[in-house]
Structures are given as structure tokens and as C-alpha cells.
A and B are shown apart, each in its own frame.
Chain A
Amino acid sequence: MQETRDALILRLENAARQVRRDVWRALRAGGSGHAGGSSSAADILAALYFHRMQVRPTEPAWSDRDRFVLSKGHANAALGAVLAQAGFIDDAMLDRFYGFESPFAMHPDMKLPGVEMNTGALGHGLAIAMGMALGARIRGQDFHTFVMVGDGELHEGSNWEAAMAASHQRLGNLTLIVDSNRIAQSGPLPELVNVEPLADKWRAFGWAVREIDGHDMGAIVDALAALPLEADRPSAIIAHTVKGKGVSFAEDTYLWHSNNVDDAILARALAELEAP
């Protein structure tokens, strides 16, 4: 039976809540971590992995799989949570975050099944994703490549090299998602180096752009269903998000870009992430 839109959205919202809970669990296991950027990305990651992307958790190297590159690699706790929930990795791996010789580190590592590229040094993922999309074209494959960057990450100039080349190549099989939570490690972006107007920048570089509320699951699902936003153009979804989304004390503050997590903080976070 076809899943109704309401049922789909409810399922994905529940999945995203579980992702956030698992993020805090992983951070507690590691003793610290990037709560802010992991939580802002959670809804989009859930929609990608539990709805939009064609992947095979038991066959992670399946050659026709859709690709996802987490360029803002400091959100790896969220990626790990998604990979566990999808069945790429054992759920117990979440308790090995930061562990000695663990494949589940602060930043994505290809040693973890389902991770497409070692990332976290910012400004790398878009070029790599473009290479994947070009590889699909050259090899005649239909998979779609997604890449998520942070808005602060867009300070890195290499992104704009890739932005220029991807539109030149008319890569309709490439989608960029900007997790725009407006805060970097040292503070709000307007106080560091302003990145706005973001949508205008991507349009000027030749991309098709849609701005959404990155926590509105209906809007996320609709945007992903509309890809490519224009034929023969790469798509940029600018997702306006809240850093630390879902846990009041972590929301919208650079203090929770990365911070320590003890048992008491974990309990407070999980209490706020109870199912309604």
C-alpha cells in the first residue's frame, strides 16, 4: 500500500528525532562533540536516507547507489546515527564515537560502511561530489549525488571553484544542500564574515536554487522530489536551520558548536527529545 504523505512525514519526523537522540548518545560516549551542526542537519539526513536516496545498507558499495557526501564533516555524529538506523552499521557503533581505533570518529571516515569520503577538512566535498556526478555521466549511470555543506564552510574558496565548474558542466545529477544554521565555531556568521545573500550567490554561479525551512519535513520532501530544480543545472537547496535544533539549551548558540557532554546533559537533552 502506498504510504500517504502524512504517514511519510510522520515517519521521517520520528526518524529524525531518533537521529537527534542518537547524536547526543554518541556525544556522551565520546565525552564531547558537535551537537549544533549535527542537530541542524538531522531532518535533511533523515529525509535523504529514509526516503529519497536509493541505497542498499547491506551492499554499501552497490555501484548504482545514490551518493551522499557530508562535506561539513563535523556533523558525523548525525551521519553515523543515520547509517545505524538505516542498517549500514551496528547500532552499538554509536557507543564507540571517538573510541580508540574506532571507524566512527569525529569526522567521516571511509572505514565506516556507508561513508563515501573522508571529509571534515572544509571545502572539499563539493568538488568530490562533482567528480562523482561526472563519473555517473561518463559511465552512463543514473545515480544522483548529494552533498551537504555548512554555510560557514562556504568561507572556503574551493567551494566557489567547484560551484563555477559544476554549472559549466550542467550537472543536473548533482544537488548541494546548504545547512544554513548561521553560526560557526567562533560565533554568528554576520559577526565573522558574512555569507549572505546566499541564494543570490548560487544563482549567480548558474545553479537552480530553492530555499526551505530545513526543519519542515514537508518542505524537505517536496524539495527533494523536485530535483533537479531545473533541467541540466545543478541544484542548490538552501536549508534555513537552527543550530542545536531540538534541545533548548543548545539551540542557536556557538557555545554548542562543540561542547562537552556528561550524563546530566545527556539526560536533559534526551528529555527534550521524547516522542510527543
Chain B
Amino acid sequence: MSTTPADWREKSANQTRLAFGQALLELGEIDIDTVVVSADTQDLLGIRPYIARFPKRFLEMGIAEQNAIGVASGLATTGLHPFVCAYAPFITARSMEQVRNDLAYARQRVVIGAAASGVSLGVAGGTHHAVEDLALMRSLPNMTVIVPADAESAYRATLATRDIDGPVYLRLGGRVEEPPVAESSVPFVPGRARTLRTGNDLAIIACGALVHMALVAADTLASEGVHARVIDMHTIKPLDRDAILSAAAETGGIVTAEEHHLTGGLGGAVAELLALEHPTHMRMVGLPDVFATVGPTPRVRAKYGMSVEGILSACRELLGARR
């Protein structure tokens, strides 16, 4: 009952979290060392098909994120390749010490599939938003941090973790659809940013759900004669320095866009690099220094500028400031 390409795309339903579960099904077939650890997240990550197919390589650890990370670390010491299925807000903030010591410091090959990131659980309220997870994970040596923008990227990123020596934080979305940002023929390689639109007037560097918004914003700008480069910076760590430095040198203006606090995430990472190596005019789209309000995800995003309009305003402001 192996899955076909058509199957997984359909079953992922344009949601990165479900694409992760579909990719695990393929990994279970091709790698006998795959083991999946759940923190009461069997539907969240769409892993019931995996559990049915590989019951002996599945472990339910219940609502205990610290324990899930510790167990995954121990499993990895025996040569297995654990994938922890979890809620982004809980697996990062609550289990930070386990992630830091048991995974990053001990450099264990463990993948965290962190669904419901950002404000994707908008109506659940501030306790359930993960808007500092990139800052936490990015601060850890040995950690790889990947934010897929669509289901195709999430599927390929999950498969690609086999070749990563160390822990991986794979940031996944919630139940809001994440439309495709590229043809499936566009390569996806961890650590290598993807330029989805060319242009030299300015560059929008985005990750996750904001990549699609950046593309729409770039189309609008193009109709006004402004050619914005759009870079899908799916890997926040290690950062694709060359793509950023080239964009800075060739466009002279950078807008970053992410579903995360303005501190510590993608914008912070880009600003750190540019401040030292190529000071460049920047604007940053993301959540300011507040806990986000309650509401449907698109409205919560829009309230804080994480929208096509928000990206457009940032771009126009940047262009105006440079004139």
C-alpha cells in the first residue's frame, strides 16, 4: 500500500502539516530507522496512515512534550531517526531545555515536526500562538531550522532531513490552506534559498505563509512598474548568506516577511547579516512586540501587517525612503 505522488499531494490538501505526515509514510517505506513520536498529535500531523502501516515504529508519548524530546534523543543514540510530531508553541517554549541539551548540545539526529506555528491557531488565543519559536530554535548551535511555504516544500523538506546531521526544527502550519508558491519542478534544497521572482528594484525575503503573500505583492508592484525579487528563505538556519548578500547588492533594499515576532526570526537573521557585511535599507513585516489578538488566522495576520497589503506598504515605504 505504498503511496503514489498523486496520493500525497491530494491528501496534503495544501497544508504543510499534512504533507509532513504523508512524507513520513514514504520515509517509513524507504528507511527502516524511521520512528515517529507523537505528543497526542496523531491528527494534527496526519500520521494515522503511518501508524497503521508501521505500528512498531510509532510511539505515542501523550501530552508530555519534554518527555517526547528526551525519548527522541535516547532513540537517536541507538541509530534510529526519530520524528517528533508536536504543536509548535508547546514543543519549543515548554521543552526548550530538552531541545537545547538533549538534541542540540548532544547533536542528535531528531526532526521536530512543529505544526500550528505562528498564529495559525488564531482563535485559540495567545497561549496557542507560536511567534517566538524561530528565535528560540535559531539561537541553538547544531540546529537546522526550516520553514516550508507550501505542501510541496514541506514534503521535500521532510525527506531531505535524512541527510542532515543533527536536529531539525521543521516549522509547519495549521488548518489554513497554504497555496503552492512554485511549480513542483523548482528544486528544494535545505540551506539554499529559492528565487521565485526576479527583479532588481528591491527584494522581498519571506518564509512560510508569507511567501505566497510576497508573490501576490510582487505581482501588484510589477503592474506599477516596480520589479521586486521574491526569495523563499525556507531555511532560516543555516542561512543562505549568498542569496541575501546578492539581493542586497543588486537591489539595494530588503523587505523581510514572516509570521513571527519582529525580533529573533527571519528578519532578525537577515538584519544581523546585513548590518555586519552589507548595510542595506530594510523593512520588516511580522508581529510587533505584543501578544497577538484572538481571531481567525487571516484577520489576525492582517491586523499586524502580515498580509499582502502589509508587504506592499513596507515595500512602498522602503522605495519612498530611498528616493
Interface of A with B (CB < 8 Å)?
63, 67, 110, 116-119, 121, 123-124, 126-136, 138-139, 141, 158, 161-162, 164-165, 169
Which chain A positions have C-beta within 8 A of B80?
135, 138-139
B17-51 to A contact mask, C-beta < 8 Å, 1/0: 00000000000000000010000000000000000
Beta-carbon contact of A117 and B77 below 8 Å: yes
Which chain B positions have C-beta within 8 A of A136?
78
Instruction: Quote the shortest CB–CB distance from A94 to chain B (angstroms).
Output: 24
- Nearest B residue to A127 by beta-carbon distance? B70
Which chain B positions have C-beta within 8 A of A121?
97, 101
Listed by A's residue number, 9 A-B pairs whose Cβ atoms lie within 8 Å are A116-B77, A119-B101, A127-B98, A128-B102, A135-B74, A135-B77, A138-B80, A158-B67, A164-B62
Beta-carbon contact of A117 and B78 below 8 Å: no
Judge if B197 is at the interface, Cβ distance under 8 Å: no
12 extra interface residue pairs, beta carbon distance < 8 Å, beyond A117-B77, A124-B97: A63-B79, A124-B101, A128-B77, A130-B74, A131-B75, A134-B71, A134-B74, A141-B78, A158-B70, A161-B62, A161-B67, A165-B71
Given A141-B78, A164-B62, A165-B62: A118 and B101 interface contact (C-beta under 8 Å): yes
Beta-carbon contact of B74 and A131 below 8 Å: yes
Judge if B64 is at the interface, Cβ distance under 8 Å: yes
Of B53-61, B152-160, B176-184, B286-294, the one with at least 4 CB within 8 A of chain A: B53-61
Given A138-B35, A138-B80, A158-B67: A131 and B73 interface contact (C-beta under 8 Å): yes
Beta-carbon contact of A161 and B64 below 8 Å: yes
Beta-carbon contact of B79 and A131 below 8 Å: no
Range class of the B interface residue count: 20 to 34
Majority secondary structure, A binding face: helix
Judge if B69 is at the interface, Cβ distance under 8 Å: yes
Which chain B positions have C-beta within 8 A of A165?
61-62, 64, 67, 71
Which chain A positions have C-beta within 8 A of B74?
117, 127-135
Judge if B72 is at the interface, Cβ distance under 8 Å: yes
- Nearest B residue to A120 by beta-carbon distance? B101
Beta-carbon contact of B70 and A128 below 8 Å: yes
Which chain B positions have C-beta within 8 A of A132?
74-75, 77-78
Which chain B positions have C-beta within 8 A of A127?
66-67, 69-71, 73-74, 98, 102
Q: Which of A110, A117, A127 has the most CB atoms of chain B within a 10 A radius of its CB?
A: A127
Given A110-B106, A161-B64, A165-B62: A124 and B71 interface contact (C-beta under 8 Å): no
* Cα–Cα distance between A165 and B72 once the two chains are bound (Å): 13
* Cα–Cα distance between A128 and B74 once the two chains are bound (Å): 4
Beta-carbon contact of B78 and A135 below 8 Å: yes
Given A117-B106, A124-B102: A162 and B79 interface contact (C-beta under 8 Å): no
Which chain A positions have C-beta within 8 A of B188?
none
Which chain A positions have C-beta within 8 A of B82?
131
Which chain A positions have C-beta within 8 A of B69?
127
